[in-house]
Amino acid sequence: MYRIIEARNLAANIYQMIVEAPRVAKKCMPGQFLIVRTGPDSERIALTICDYDREKGTITIVFQTVGASTEVMSKLKTGDSFHDVVGPLGRPSELIDEPADELKKKNILFVAGGVGTAPVYPQVKWLHEQGVAADVIVGAKTKDILILEDEMKAVAGNLYVTTDDGSYGRSGMVTKVIEDLVGEGKKYDVCIAIGPMIMMKFVAKLTKELNIPTIVSMNPIMVDGTGMCGACRIIVGGEVKFACVDGPEFDGHLVDFDGAMKRSQMYKTEEGKKLLELQEGDTHHGGCGNCN
Amino acid sequence: MEVDVLKRIPVREQEPKTRATNFDEVCLGYNAEEAQCEASRCINCKNAQCIKGCPVAINIPGFIEQVKNGDFKKAYEIISQSSALPAVCGRVCPQETQCEGKCIRGIKGDPISIGKLERFVADWASENGIKPVSDAPKKGKKVAVIGSGPAGLTCAGDLARMGYDVTIFEALHEAGGVLVYGIPEFRLPKEKVVKKEIENVKSLGVKIETNVIIGKSVTIDELVSEEGYDAVFIGSGAGLPKFMGIPGETASGVFSANEYLTRSNLMKAYDPASPTPIKIGKKVAVVGGGNVAMDAARTALRLGSEVHIVYRRSEEELPARVEEVHHAKEEGVIFDLLTNPVEILTDENGWVNGIKCIRMELGEPDESGRRRPVEVAGSEFVIDVDTVIMSLGTSPNPLIASTTDGLDVNKRGCIIATEEQGATSKDGVYAGGDAVTGAATVILAMGAGKTAAQGIDEYLQGKA
């Protein structure tokens, strides 16, 4: 079993958990993900690793409730356990292959959207440990769901926070901040954007115009996460790639976001039904005639 | 019960119409009387050909004789000397091309139903709480087995019987490999058969650690240098699903057979109460003609879909076992043979709404010896489906090979291992099963696991 050392509600529907998983903690690198299950019959849920402590043998995950399985997960408390934690999965960020001297010469921009701030954090932290200061834009819909601001501030070169509704920091989408920064004369050699697919799509579109090479982290539907089922396939540069073994990070200028977004809708109906069942409990009656 | 020596005792099955709507086992197996009658047909050949046909060389006439005598316990002991998974093999081995294919009775009449007898003996032992035992003295050496599928379980079981301290590392959350994620409940019950066989392997002293991905969580070199393993067996299985490379394959509603079967079998999505969803199409096309295609087709049928098998050659070339094809037909799977997909059609939301195919005809034999299918020009047509399941085989997962120095693979990416011992290019590392051969059968993987166990024993004896 994988004990939860600390469970915390970060913002409205966003939770952070520090979990004992010594094998994962020992080997994981920024950019990789893991899969958790809450119980013996539960769904496999893929989550990006937000932080790790090799000595304590713990990993940190951050997730947003989006369906029945994450809803169940959000109810777990400090001292509870996950039934399964497996990883690290996927390939680490390409940045970690570059020598620190090379990285120091580069102007690196991270763009984090919503809960995507969590997977951006370990990359910025890793660079900070190598003595590399990266600029970070964090975007959230509104102030209440902004996460990890202090943590990010401690490791980022410059941190730019923006909210869609202007309730905190700058006002507007992350793309506007990129335009503003470039307008102010900032030059970037590489951009790493992680967040909702729609955000990554528009960041990639903009950085293509601005000629900034861009890496995105894809989180498509997955089952096993080890390269066995092929559910996570996406089109990158006209070729079919498996996010779990070839990714999750890809060249943002080559990813077919529209196809990936359509595919990610595949189980929306089923997920919605499961969530209703869970929320309504014994009173659940969908009126569909197909329920048990 | 009357016995005609030329005819097999028929085995009871669920009625096709009934079973097409449930996930219970299709074949109900022999009872003791039926088994004894069937066993009485065996002529106990001196030079038994059936044993030569068995990849793990079970003493077949030996165990059948005990069934005939009614000593089922003894029969079980004879089988378990050679096989760690008799309840599985009795159900999923292609006996018709192995032991039963060589049976002398088969020359004039029906061969002995060796598979059904093996299944009977294994089920009887399980119902009566009989487990395999190991009383070999401990050797004080540790062996790591990667993968808990048929190759890994067999290798681990054999090594434990020899007195080695064996740990199996499994990437998924549950042990069993293809036996739990691939082969459906109605062919191989999970609780009643697979779990019990795994428990039997554990009762020999084998430890199983789930959720460990070798190559990611820990490498083979680390298992040896940091965790003290003296030898390693790789039975990591087949790997990444293949697709055709036709337009529309990433559309919503297109699955690999691996994904479809994993959702239904491992994640139990066939049960509406399961948190893991599966798409139940109204009309489903399964592309391919192997056993996995039949499993996917019969699963979709049970979930309530109309199912078409789309296969580019003719019925004669179907790679699936005759019994599987027969069962699928009985249950109502429609076979669109000599038909090859050229494009998956989608609606404005990216959902499958048809599969465009072309008619094929058979030409000259190709390198596989089968007649090569050739397109009939201008014969394109559309099958109206909302779900497509691609069952075209797999290519090896590069994870282990790419993280293990000195482990050679062939040009297809399969691990190279010697046939006699399962030895790889790396000292102390052995391999077998689909990771070596590419997708094959449960029993061939078991045979390779067995061979490697002997190879590992010789290697470690030599080092002692």
Reported ipTM: 0.88
On chain A, the residues whose CB falls within 8 A of the CB of B218 are: 23, 26-27
pLDDT at A290: 52
Please spell the DSSP secondary structure of B103-167, one letter per residue. -THHHHSPPP-HHHHHHHHHHHHHHTT------PPP---EEEEE--SHHHHHHHHHHHHHT-EEE
pLDDT tens per residue across span B358-415: 999 998 888 878 888 999 999 999 999 999 999 999 988 888 998 999 999 999 899 9
Locate the chain B residue with the closest alpha carbon to A260.
Answer: B250
Q: Whole-number mean pLDDT of chain A? A: 90
User: Percent of chain B having pLDDT more than 70?
Assistant: 100
Cβ–Cβ < 8 Å for A4, A81 = yes
Set of chain A residues whose Cβ sits within 8 Å of the Cβ of B213: 86-87, 89, 226
- Residue B131 scores a pLDDT above 90: no
Radius of gyration, alpha carbons of chain B: 23
pLDDT digits (tens, 9 = 90+) for B159-212: 998 999 999 999 999 999 999 999 999 999 999 999 999 999 999 999 999 999
Q: Work out the number of other CB atoms within 10 angstroms of the CB of residue B387.
A: 23
Task: Give the mean pLDDT of B101-130.
Answer: 95
Residues of chain B in contact with residue A267, where contact means CB-CB under 8 angstroms, are 277, 279
Residues of B in contact with A292 (CB under 8 A): 272-273
Give the Å distances, CA to CA, from A201 to A45, A194, A198, B375. 23, 10, 5, 40
Residues from chain B that touch A265, judged by Cβ atoms under 8 A, are 252, 349-350
User: What is the predicted pLDDT for the residue at A292?
Assistant: 44
Average predicted confidence (pLDDT) for chain B: 93
Q: B224-262: per-residue pLDDT in tens?
A: 999 999 999 999 998 889 999 899 998 999 999 999 999
Residue B136's pLDDT band, with cuts at 50, 70 and 90, is: confident
| Residue recorded with tokens 């003791």 | B32
Q: Measured between alpha carbons, how far is A34 from A28 in angstroms, rounded to an integer?
A: 9
- Check if the beta carbon of residue A197 is closer than 8 Å to that of residue A260: yes
Residue A228 in contact with partner chain B when CB distance is under 8 A? yes
Work out the pLDDT band at A23, boundaries 50, 70, 90. very high
Q: Are the beta carbons of A228 and B262 separated by less than 8 Å?
A: yes
Nearest by CB: B217 against A27, A223, A233: A27
Q: What are the tokens at B206?
A: 């084998």
User: Which segment of A3-7, A139-143, A266-270, B22-26 scores lowest on mean pLDDT?
Assistant: A266-270
Of all residues in chain B, what percent carry a pLDDT higher than 90? Answer: 80
- pLDDT band per the 50, 70, 90 thresholds, residue A283: low
Q: Torsion over CA of A54, A58, A60 and A65, rounded to 10 degrees? A: 150
Q: How many CB pairs under 8 A join A and B?
A: 124
Report CA A112 to chain centroid distance, whole Å. 9
Are the Cβ atoms of A224 and B171 closer than 8 angstroms?
A: yes
Residues 6+ apart with CB under 8 A from B167: B142, B143, B144, B145, B206, B207, B208, B209, B229
Q: Where are the domains of chain A?
A: 2-89, 94-217, 221-248+255-292
- Is B250–A85 a contact, with Cβ atoms under 8 angstroms apart? no
Say if the Cβ atoms of A223 and B259 lie within 8 Å.
Answer: yes
Best to test chain B binding among A229, A244, A263 (most B CBs inside 10 Å)? A229
A95-104 pLDDT, tens per residue? Answer: 888 898 899 9
**Highest-confidence segment of A156-160, A285-289, B392-396:** A156-160
CA distance A277 to chain B (A): 10
Query: Which chain B residue has the Cα nearest residue A22?
Result: B217
Answer whether residue B73 shows pLDDT above 70: yes
Distance from CA of A197 to the nearest CA of B (A): 16
Q: B267 and A43 in contact by Cβ < 8 A?
A: yes
Q: What is the mean pLDDT of residues A7-17?
A: 92
Q: Which residues of B touch A41 (CB under 8 A)?
A: 268, 274-275
The CB density around residue B26, as the number of other CB atoms within 10 Å, is: 21
With 0-12 / 13-18 / 19 or more C-beta atoms within 10 angstroms meaning exposed / middle / buried, residue B246 is middle
Return the bridge partners of A161, or none. A138
Which residues, 6 or more positions from B345, have their beta carbon under 8 angstroms from its beta carbon?
B248, B352, B353, B354, B355, B356, B382
| A19 contacts on B by Cβ (under 8 Å) | none
Q: Residue B463 contacts by C-beta under 8 Å, 6 or more apart in sequence? A: B230
Give the residue-averaged pLDDT of A169-176: 92
Report whether CATH 3.40.50.80 matches the domain A94-217: yes
Phi, psi dihedrals of residue B396, rounded to the nearest 5°: -60, 140
Distance from CA of B56 to the nearest CA of A (A): 27
Q: Which of residues 4-43 of A touch B (CB under 8 A)?
A: 23-24, 26-27, 37, 41-43
Give the 3-state secondary structure of residue A152.
Answer: helix
Nearest to B233 by CA among B266, B206, B202, B194: B206
CB contact under 8 A, B217 and A23: yes
Q: Do A245 and B397 touch (CB under 8 A)?
A: yes
Q: Measured between CB atoms, does A277 come within 8 Å of chain B?
A: no
Amino acid at A213: P
Reported pTM: 0.90
Q: Please, what's the largest Cα pairwise distance for chain B?
A: 70
Q: Tell me the chain A residues in contact with residue B263 when contact means C-beta distances shorter than 8 Å.
A: 223
Summarize the confidence of residues B277-291 as an average pLDDT: 93
pLDDT of residue B287: 98
What's the CATH architecture for A2-89? Beta Barrel (2.40)
What whole-number percentage of chain A has pLDDT above 70? Answer: 95
| pLDDT of residue B97 exceeding 70 | yes
Interchain CB distance below 8 Å, A43 and B275: yes
